Structure 1
Amino acid sequence: MDWQVWSEFFRQNWLIILIALIILFLVINLVKTVIRWLIVIVIILTVFIYSGISLDQIKQTVTSVTDQTVGAVRDQALNVMKDEARDARFIQNADGTYTIKSDNIELNGKPGAGKVSVTFRGVPLGEWDVNDTIQSVITQAKQNTAAGGSGS
């Protein structure tokens, strides 16, 4: 399980966990029979069952926030691609792949492939499908390099 999810669970439910620990301590110290261990198991199971429901909800929230953040970064990267396309340079690599570089964006791909690896401000954003925006950046970078001659 993700540490961030557990951390959030402990922050939200610290009082319940503290009460459960106090009850466990009292049961272990006061009850000296098999019943003690039955009570301990019931308390632990209750906390885990309760946490399971809360952890799922927390995990969904964390996933939602992550998805929104990734979407915002992707939108920002696409906008920067459009803006920097006029300065982008196309580099043909020795292994047959290509690299397109601008101030903030780097695209790595294979000619004819439907995906490119995207790096935005030095942070890898994974492989993206080649859409119209990315295709126009590739075309513009090829034209820039042919016109400027500064590509390798």
Structure 2
Amino acid sequence: MNIEVIKEFVMQNWLVIVVALIILFFVLNVVKTVLKWAIAIIIIAALLIYSGISIDQIKQTVTDVQSSTMDTLKKEATSMMLKEASKATYTKGQDGAFTITSPNVDIKGRTNSDKVDVTLRGISLGEWKVDNETIRTFVKQAQENGTAPAS
């Protein structure tokens, strides 16, 4: 979305926006049911559609934000693995499953699998391939730290 397009739209349609905001304010203060949120969503959607912003643009923006957030979380998890490798504990299950736990990062996987599940501070970051050097180093260091008893 171009900021100039938004500025131009606001300058050309300021009266429509003000009327919509007044109606929205009235609806939110007077109507006391779930209906008020439905009306509010309809008013906001109408303004967005009227402004020329398409649903595809909104979806693309949400996708971009989501992708950027996941990239940031993955970088943070990688950084935490490097910092916390010496504090990691390795727990091996009887069925070939293992869990590596450190203060902020948890990894779960299977012994002969090329993928592991990574969790950063309780937020799942999905499956990662073990071909990542940081993950291999983290796993190796956790194994060297000692194996915790299986629970």
Deviation string 1:95-133 (CA, Å, 9 cap, x unpaired) is 210000011111000112111001111111111111110
Aligned to 2:98: 98
**Structure 2: runs of 5+ lacking an equivalent:** 1-9, 11-15, 21-45
Q: What does residue 144 of structure 1 align with?
A: 145
- Aligned-partner Cα distance in 1 for 2:98–2:109: 6
What CA distance in whole angstroms lies between the structure 2 residues aligned with 1:112 and 1:94? 14
Query: Aligned equivalents of 1:138 and 1:112: distance in 2?
Result: 13
Unaligned runs of 5+ in 1: 1-11, 19-46
Aligned partners of 1:145, 1:117: CA distance in 2, in Å?
21
Residue in 2 that maps onto 1:72: 72
- Give the structure 1 partner of residue 34 of structure 2: none
Q: How does 1:100-119 map to 2 (within 5 A)?
A: 100-119=100-119
Match of residue 37 from structure 1: none
Number of aligned residue pairs: give it: 108
1:23-62 equivalent positions in 2, closer than 5 A = 54-62=54-62
2:63 alignment partner in structure 1: 63
Q: 1:44 maps to what in 2?
A: none
Q: Distance in 2 between matches of 1:76 and 1:117?
A: 15
The CA RMSD over aligned residues, in Å, is 2.7
Structure of larger gyration radius = 1
Runs of 4 or more, structure 1, over 4 Å off, are 50-53
- Work out the CA distance in 1 between the residues paired with 2:63 and 2:85: 32
- Identical counterparts, % of pairs: 40
Q: CA deviation at 1:53?
A: 6.2
Q: TM-score, normalization: structure 2?
A: 0.63
Partner of 2:123: 123
Task: Write the distance in 1 (CA, Å) between the matches of 2:55 and 2:129.
Answer: 33
Q: CA deviation at 1:58?
A: 1.0
Q: How many Å separate the matches in 1 of 2:79 and 2:53?
A: 39
Over residues 32-57 of structure 1, what are the superposed CA-to-partner deviations in whole Å (9 max), with x where a residue is unaligned?
A: xxxxxxxxxxxxxxx8xx58961101
Partner residue, 1:31: none
- TM-score normalised by L of structure 1: 0.63
Offset from partner CA, 1:40-89 (integer Å, 9 cap, x none): xxxxxxx8xx5896110111011001100110011001000110001101
